[in-house]
Structure 1
Amino acid sequence: MNRLWIVALVLLVVPAAWLLGPTEAVADQLPGVQAWRADARHLPDPATATPAAVAAFFAGLAPGAATALATEYPQVVGNLDGAPVALRYAANGATTYAGRQILALDRRGDGRIVEVLGDLETADRVVIVIPGVDNTLTDFDTGLGGVERRAPSWQARQLFQQAGAGDGVAVIAWLGYDPPEGVRRAALREDRAASGALALERFVDGLVATHPGQRITVVGHSYGSIVAGWAAAHLPAQVTDIVAIGSPGMGVSSAADLHTGARVWAGSAPDDWTRRLPSIRVFGLGHGRLPIDAAFGALPLPAADVTGHDGYFLPGTSTLRAIARISAGRDQVTATA
């Protein structure tokens, strides 16, 4: 019997309390939030104000007032969806990431970081790349185990270069959630995906609040595709495409169950280990039917020339070219997977 099937069967007979118990404590508030809330200027609450309300608040500030707030509360403004992009860059990139476009930065725990490649203010199309398990702030640039092709920032750069830096496309490496550590209990559940989806929905709402004409593609790799799946039904109409690569499932049995108007694409390398996962979702374990299964109903994404679970963003692969075409609004994608 396949080892992955054995693992799945073993997990299904363990006590239900183990399966259904909590996996992650609620994150503490960012430094500066309490002072921000107590500020006499009646600043928008980072937890309850919508990104649209945040955008409206900053739009109504007098010249220089927004910069003053970012200087006084850099960690709040730097992570505040709906706040002006340039302001967030300045708040997040003053030290370690000087010269880079960092749209969110949280150093607590495993860390969270969001980096933009291209001009987000003028881009017609935006691509959000969501990485999977084991990704942290520490290996955002170096890759898990020092393997470059696994680094979210490197993957985003390859897609940005393939999509065409001058074609009005911006690419975002979005490590805006806390992925599971390894293929263990948290990776078999969807708690992290559910909380990540809420963060993704708010992030996208922030983009749309300031740039309603942009068209957005969401690309989820591995566990990142589960985050995309959980968020799909709540993403705005500006999200035209959702792409799942190397996906263990998207938390549903079919693309129709995602309840999204966006096109759903899926591709997997011939030797990607996720192909061997059982299509189960029982007692909080498993992620449903593999998106590459014809019965799922996703549009096929080419991946026949990709090797392994982490090769999708390597230059020259059919998957990278296909995602770039989808992201740029060029839909001539030939499925050869």
Structure 2
Amino acid sequence: MFSIGITRPRRVVGVLTSAVVSTLLGLPAAWLFGPAETPAATAVPHRAQWLAEPLSPPDPTSAAPSTVAGFFARVPAASAEDLADRFPDIVGRLDGAPVRLRYRANRIVSPAHAGRQILLYDRAGDGRIAEVIGNLSTADRIVVLVPGVDSVLANFDTGHGGRLRRAPSWQAHQLYDQIHAQDPSARAAVIPWLGYDPPEGVRRDALREDRAVAGAAALDRFVDGLSTARPEATITVIGHSYGSTVAGLAAAGLNAQVHDLVAIGSPGMGGARTVSDLHSQARVWAGSAPNDWTRRIPGVQVFGVGHGRLPCDRAFGALALPSEDVDGHDGYFLDGSSALRAMAAIVVGGAGDPR
């Protein structure tokens, strides 16, 4: 995720500002404004063998989560478990597959995580992982946390640079605990979702949206998979930093069960100038710490560089998420922060206003 101390925020603001100025002068830099680089697709291991199975399972690269769910609903439980045991790399990441089977498959893929509820695990490249905190099988409130730049499998639990406050899993536990502090009876599940390939550092990829576009498609699909498991649940999507750019680009395609979108420490939500540009029926919230360096990023998008107006800008039209006491770009999930309390209240309160 964008983080003070790891990416020199003043340099980032300077680079983006210079890029905008260069563009206006008609002198765009080729490295910044050149053709988009499509993120490499993650290969699906043993796909040919999977498709050759007598049960005719759906293609993991193209089948909609609803199609996947329909297939497993028709298959005897013993046969489904056999598929999970023989093709754990497929079932463990297959949106729409029963949650219990994904947990089972990922225990095989990563024995080190055997005591945890892993919905996605992929070692390829920088890695991908999604973990459920809480009981997804009974949850009527689900939160999906989308992290940003420099989040990888290796620091999912420890945080970039070894700072715990930057760790997606730690942030999810913080929010889960705050939800239950406000409502001990809440049936909630919080999912830190590292299901895309964030940019490495604040370089070209972080200033553009190629990675976010790919991440948005994956996020839409993941949320569709959640809806097959919990069709009555209310879903909240929270994007931190570049993760909010992913959420903004995903917004129009997100399942109708998503009632709230929250952007914290956001550099922009996918080029949107106002909430209406997101084309979503969800409520949109934005919070930014007084000293969050992303406040100094120009709220523009020129030739694919930049992410649009900052959602904390009043002109964007988002509901204000309390953040006045938050310290820095990575302080939103710290104990006692107004932002943490407000995010939990959004989840617990549903239609209520946590402000």
Shorter-chain TM-score tier: over 0.9
How far apart are 1:47 and its partner, in Å?
A: 1.4
Offset at residue 23 of structure 1 (A): 2.9
Aligned residues: 333
Q: Is the 8 A contact 1:20 1:283 kept in 2?
A: no
Conserved 8 A contact 1:156-1:171:
yes
- Tell me if 1:38 matches 2:52: yes
Which of 261, 267, 275 is the aligned partner of 2:295? 275
- What residue is the counterpart of 2:170 in the other structure? 154
After TM superposition, the score normalised by the length of structure 2 is 0.91
- Higher RCO, 1 or 2 (CA under 8 Å, sep at least 6)? 2
| Residue 9 of structure 1, CA deviation | 4.1
Decide whether the 8 Å contact of 1:246 with 1:268 is kept in 2. Answer: yes
What are the Cα deviations for residues 139-167 of structure 1, in whole angstroms up to 9, with x where unaligned? 00010010001000000000000011641
Partners of 1:295 and 1:119 in 2: how far apart? 39
Helix, strand or coil at the partner of 1:26? coil
* Change over 3 Å in CA distance of 1:273–1:67 after alignment to 2: same
CA distance in 2: counterparts of 1:132 and 1:114, whole angstroms: 14
Deviation string, structure 1 residues 44-100 (Cα, Å, up to 9, x no partner): 001111100100100111130110000000010000000000110111124010110
1:320 corresponding residue in structure 2: 340
Task: Give the C-alpha shift of residue 15 in structure 1.
Answer: 3.6
The correspondence of residues 30-69 of structure 1 with structure 2, limited to 5 A, is 30-69=44-83
User: 1:265 Cα shift?
Assistant: 0.1
In the alignment, which residue of structure 2 is the partner of 1:333? 354
* Structure 2 partner of 1:191: 210
The amino acid of 1:332's aligned partner reads D
CA contact (8 A) 1:20 1:284 kept: no
Name the structure 2 match of 1:289.
309
For residue 332 of structure 1, report the CA deviation from its aligned partner. 3.5
Distance change (3 Å), C-alpha of 1:36 and 1:321: same
Q: Aligned letter for 2:295?
A: R
- The answer to whether 1:121 aligns with 2:141 is no
Q: Give the Cα separation in 2 of the matches to 1:310 and 1:28.
A: 29
In 1, the alpha carbon distance for the partners of 2:328 and 2:247 equals 21
- AA paired with 2:303? F
Matches of 1:325 and 1:26 in 2, distance apart? Answer: 38
Say if 1:104 and 1:115, in contact at 8 Å, map to a contact too: yes
Partner of 1:20: 34
Q: Hey, which of these two has a bigger chunk of helix by percent?
A: 2
Deviation digits for residues 236-261 of structure 1 (CA, Å, limit 9, x no counterpart)? 21100000000000021011110100
- Answer yes or no: is 1:253 the counterpart of 2:269: no
Residue 149 of structure 2 corresponds to 133
Aligned-pair identity in percent equals 58
Work out whether 1:307 is the aligned partner of 2:327: yes
How far apart are 1:14 and its partner, in Å? 3.1
Which segments of 5 or more consecutive residues in structure 2 lack a partner in the other structure?
1-9
Summarize the Cα distance change of 1:292–1:9 in structure 2 as closer, same or farther, 3 Å threshold: closer
Distance 1:260 1:318, change over 3 A: same
Cα distance, 1:271–1:18 mapped onto 2, change above 3 Å: closer
CA distance in 2, matches of 1:259, 1:192: 20
CA–CA distance in structure 2, aligned partners of residues 18 and 315 of structure 1 = 39
Alignment of 1:203 with 2:211, yes or no, is no
Are the equivalent residues in 2 in contact too, given 1:242–1:263 (CA < 8 A)?
yes
User: Residue 96 of structure 1: SS of its match in structure 2?
Assistant: helix
The yes-or-no answer on 1:10 pairing with 2:15 is no
Question: 1:37, CA displacement in angstroms?
Answer: 2.0
- Residue number in structure 2 paired with 1:233: 252
Q: Which runs of 5+ in 1 are unaligned?
A: none
Q: Deviations over 1:249-279 (max 9, x none)?
A: 0021011110100000000001000000001
Note the C-alpha offset of 1:24. 4.3
> 1:142 aligned to 2:163?
no
- Distance in 2, matches of 1:20 and 1:45, equals 34
Amino acid at match of 1:319: A
Contact 2:32 2:305 in 1 (8 A): no
Report the alpha carbon displacement of residue 10 of structure 1 after superposing the two structures with TM.
3.1
Q: Secondary structure at the match of 2:238?
A: strand
